[in-house]
A and B are shown apart, each in its own frame.
Chain A
Amino acid sequence: MNIHVSPQPTDTADDGIAPGGVLMEVRNVSLSFGGVKAITDISFDVRKGEIRAIIGPNGAGKTSMLNVINGFYTPQQGTIVFRGRERRAMKPHHAVRQGIARTFQNVALFKGMSTLDNIMAGRSVLMRRKLFWQMLWHGPALAEEIAHRRVVEEIIDFLEIQHIRRVPVGKLPYGLQKRVELGRALAMEPSLLLLDEPMAGMNLEEKEDMSRFILDVNRQRGTTIALIEHDMGVVMDLSDRVVVLDYGKKIADGPPDEVKSNQQVIDAYLGVAH
């Protein structure tokens, strides 16, 4: 996929981090809901250009971790360092502007809007024309609309969803909705893409397609990806490094092979889940 650089890029374009350098770091994060400790003192990092998997049994705190990273939750303790900037609390729409995009465990699309509009909505932050030009439509607003439409059409081609361009996403089967949601995240041109169980509820063929898309995004665009996934086969195939959570604690961190043979992981997760 060959994505044009948008006319007004977010400040993600040039972050001065070499491939393999630390793009995002989670430092001693703890998060609790009332009495429930969702995350306890977790630290790990994500390197630029890698696919980082986050795994663990149900309720381990994986989704909560992503929510902390993109500013949806504010942790009671700890900080997030993203592209050298340290912070604890931020609004999700600021995280987007800094280059963090995500998809959701339970698809969070705009149900009444078409596939095209959903993905175009992902480019809202990259578009600049204000009310005045929008009212006139012809001229700068239309030129901007078309420039972004081109990029969106490339994403649509890449994800092979041309045939559902005009369909309201609420009418699409789950597998396709997940794909549209990935498209919307890609439209934001993120430098860090967070995927929460992108293959949940898919059949084998759909999973293979999705794996291929994720790998292509990572390789061709160089997008760094942090991914939550339950299917161990997929995790082993896709990821460069894996962090394992259990009851809100980190129990292992390393390359897939190493993690797979870790006794604690086998006890906590693989042994139980299979």
Chain B
Amino acid sequence: MLYRTAGQFKTSYYADHALFPVRQDAMLLGFILLLAFVVFPMTADEFVFKALLVPVLIYALAALGLNILTGFAGQLSLGTGAFMGVGAYACYKLVSIFPEMNIVVAIALSGFFSAAVGVAFGLPSLRIKGFYLAIATLAAQFFLVWLFEKWAWLYNYNSSGAIQVPNIDMFGVTVAGPNASAVVQYYFVLCVVSLITLLSINITRGRIGRIWKSVRDMDIAAELVGINLMKAKLSAFAVSSYIVGIAGALFVFLWRGAAEPVLFDIPLSFRVLFIAIIGGLGSILGNYLGAILIVALPVVISALPSALGLPVSSATVEHLNTMIIGALIIAFLIIEPHGLARFWAIIREKLIMWPFPH
């Protein structure tokens, strides 16, 4: 009876286009938002914010950006880490050059830099597909990280070669830098990520989302129903890289507090790609599920043995983590290519049927 949809008739196309045609979905989301906006902030401590909540949100956002490109528009990218870097460095330069600028504005603007770079490196997608495109984005990855290292202007000629986030206030509250409190940063990230998620849902369920999915499913047929492939692909690169860039700016400004070029190297790209795959390509919800799994797993693995009284070194935790994630990826690719999001869809379906088996 939990997910009873009987009696919920749609009387207009407006109702059918509602975000949650099924009432229980809306209630579930309300519950999650209540947790996120009220319960967690009241109960979590510094460690939980820094090690779980904030990174989950930021990784989910990065994966959402990648998912728009790969899961919705079907263009594989291995350069996510570098595009995050573009967002982070752009934000760093913006706050250095315009210290008075509101941090929200700076972050929003830095997305445009990563969008522009994303479109530039997306140009090959007009000619090449699949594996070859992935290689082209890999080239972008190497080139950009090299640039972050060599172009000293980007890190204000620091001798360390790293960028350090200064204390940044917004309306009298410190939101970034060493003095910022974890709960403030959490709220900041939560608001940005929620907003972008909502906008992404809107884009992907309308005309543009359909165009992207058409290109993904069969680009030739898409062209033959009048879709301009160039516009479709480049718009996917732009929107995707914008979101990824914002995630990169949050990554450094609201979480890490400092960054050096190597942070944006391939491992970060793969990490985000894994989240998108495990969560489910072509799903918005999946990015969150994937991020929860990937971020929480190492925390659990390191906490579990000590809770059980087993001494395990941090190096072993690292190895265990890598092995488990590797196994999970292979398992998902084989068993459920649509990821955790599909699992949820199946459970939901079952709940709607329950308690009647058919």
Contact = CB atoms under 8 A, between A and B. Distances in A.
Interface residues of A, number: 39
Contact of A149 (B13, B205, B208, B228): B13
Contact of A136 (B202, B207, B217, B224): B202
B279 interface: no
Given A108-B218, A113-B210, A150 B203 contact: no
A169 to B, nearest CB: 9
A196 to B, nearest CB: 11
Contacts of A110: 213-214, 217-218, 221-222
B108 to A, nearest CB: 13
A110 B227 CA distance: 13
Contacts of A121: 210-211, 213-214, 222, 225, 227
A135 B224 contact: no
Contacts of B228: 93
Nearest to B225: A122
B14 interface: yes
Contact of A113 (B13, B14, B202, B214): B214
Interface in A94-134: 96-97, 101-102, 104, 108-113, 117, 120-122, 124-125, 127, 129, 131, 134
Interface residues of B, number: 31
Given A131-B203, A134-B206, A145-B17, A96 B224 contact: yes
Nearest to A118: B214
Given A91-B223, A110-B218, A117 B213 contact: yes
A188 interface: yes
B182 interface: no
Contacts of B226: 92-93, 96-97, 124-125, 188
A228 to B, nearest CB: 16
A141 interface: yes
A112 B213 contact: yes
Nearest to B14: A146
A70 interface: yes
A93 B13 contact: no
A150 B17 CA distance: 12
Nearest to B231: A93
Contacts of A104: 221
Nearest to A184: B225
Interface in B179-233: 199, 202-203, 205-208, 210-211, 213-214, 216-218, 220-229
Contacts of A129: 206-207
Contact of B207 (A92, A96, A109, A145): A145
Contacts of A153: 13
A125 B202 CA distance: 19
Interface in A61-113: 70, 72, 91-93, 96-97, 101-102, 104, 108-113
Contact of A188 (B14, B218, B225): B225
A72 B225 CA distance: 12
Given A122-B225, A134-B208, A146-B14, 11 more contacts: A70-B224, A91-B223, A92-B224, A93-B223, A109-B217, A112-B213, A113-B210, A121-B227, A124-B210, A127-B207, A135-B203
Interface of B: 13-14, 16-17, 199, 202-203, 205-208, 210-211, 213-214, 216-218, 220-229, 235, 239, 282
29 contacts: A70-B224, A93-B228, A96-B225, A101-B225, A108-B221, A108-B224, A109-B218, A109-B221, A110-B214, A111-B218, A112-B213, A112-B216, A113-B214, A121-B210, A121-B213, A122-B225, A124-B210, A125-B226, A129-B207, A131-B208, A134-B206, A134-B208, A136-B202, A137-B205, A145-B207, A146-B13, A149-B17, A150-B13, A188-B226
